[in-house]
């Protein structure tokens, strides 16, 4: 009797293909969110008029922007942000070095990056909570007055928000279909950068570790490797930065100078 013909693809491959694809309604939805979201967020002076004098920022916002301008000019040791958190100054300084020192230009790049991440949030959440709930969460994230204000002010809030969202996306993908070590490493690297930018969320690496244990149970060998990757990718950049702080300021800490709880948790939002 003839041998059975093997199926062209397995059910799991069909499922993975379906999960990876984006339907036309979803594509239209994402394009609408991106375009209207850009229009909604584009006017920085509207969302944060309390930190602007004309088109120039002052106060705390001016302090953080000066750190970015100094970094763009190669000023590191004497950078005003150096003894605080250099994540924002580093990122913004690199953008300034390429596109110039006008904050409106940087703000445009920042909200574009945020909107791309927001689209990624939808594509990640739809596998977990469904398309309708994921779409609602994405809309509430983008069309949010707090989001508009954080992105409009030159401070670590905006970049911290983007990095933490990207890290959560990587963690969600890393926990799907078992444990994906590369995605878990990406989560930890992004989360470490977010913590060096806005350290308020740093303790949440512990729930991430618990999620890895719960997902990998009872395969302890793979779970142990995943935990090692997650912890290593998180602590390597963190310890390197703290070592730099120790060499230059004499204080082995995330922030140089005097480190206490009021300095570490300088604001009430992530």
pLDDT, one tens digit per residue, over 200-224 is 778 888 999 999 999 988 888 899 9
Describe the crossing of helices 24-41 and 103-129 by its angle, rounded to 10 degrees. 150
Asked if 224 and 190 count as a contact pair (C-beta separation under 8 A), the reply is no
pLDDT at 15 over 70: no
Q: Encode pLDDT of 73-94 as tens digits.
A: 988 878 888 877 788 888 999 9
Q: What percent of the chain has pLDDT over 70?
A: 84
pLDDT in the model for residue 244: 76
Give the residue, 268 or 170, on which the prediction is more confident.
170
11 CB burial (10 A radius; 0-12, 13-18, 19+): exposed
Q: Encode pLDDT of 155-208 as tens digits.
A: 888 898 999 999 999 999 999 877 999 999 999 999 998 888 877 778 888 999
Longest dimension (CA), the chain: 85
Give the residue, 121 or 258, on which the prediction is more confident.
121
pLDDT at 9 over 90: no
pLDDT in the model for residue 166: 94
Q: Give this prediction's pTM.
A: 0.81
Confidence of residue 30 (pLDDT cuts 50, 70, 90): very high
pLDDT in the model for residue 16: 46
């Amino acid at each position: 009797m003839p041998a059975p013909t093997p199926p062209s693809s397995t059910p799991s491959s069909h499922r993975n293909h379906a999960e990876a694809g984006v339907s036309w309604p979803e594509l239209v939805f994402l394009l609408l969110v991106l375009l209207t979201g850009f229009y909604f967020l584009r006017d920085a002076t509207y969302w944060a008029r309390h930190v602007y004098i004309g088109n120039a920022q002052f106060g705390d916002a001016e302090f953080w922007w000066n750190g970015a301008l100094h970094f763009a000019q190669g000023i590191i040791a004497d950078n005003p942000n150096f003894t605080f958190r250099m994540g924002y100054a580093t990122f913004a300084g690199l953008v300034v070095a390429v596109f110039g020192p006008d904050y409106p230009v940087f703000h445009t790049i920042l909200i574009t990056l945020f909107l791309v991440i927001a689209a990624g949030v939808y594509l990640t959440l739809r596998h977990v909570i469904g398309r309708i709930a994921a779409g609602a969460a994405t809309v509430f994230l983008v069309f949010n007055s707090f989001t508009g204000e954080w992105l409009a002010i030159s401070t670590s809030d905006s970049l911290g928000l983007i990095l933490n969202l990207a890290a959560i996306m990587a963690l969600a993908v890393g926990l799907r279909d078992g444990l994906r070590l590369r995605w878990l490493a990406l989560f930890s690297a992004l989360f470490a950068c977010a913590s060096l930018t806005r350290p308020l969320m740093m303790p949440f690496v512990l729930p991430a570790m618990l999620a890895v244990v719960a997902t990998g149970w009872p395969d302890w060998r793979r779970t142990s490797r995943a935990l090692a990757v997650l912890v290593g990718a998180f602590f390597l950049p963190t310890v390197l930065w703290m070592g730099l702080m120790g060499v230059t300021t004499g204080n082995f800490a995330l922030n140089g100078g005097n480190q206490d709880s009021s300095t570490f948790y300088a604001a009430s939002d992530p």
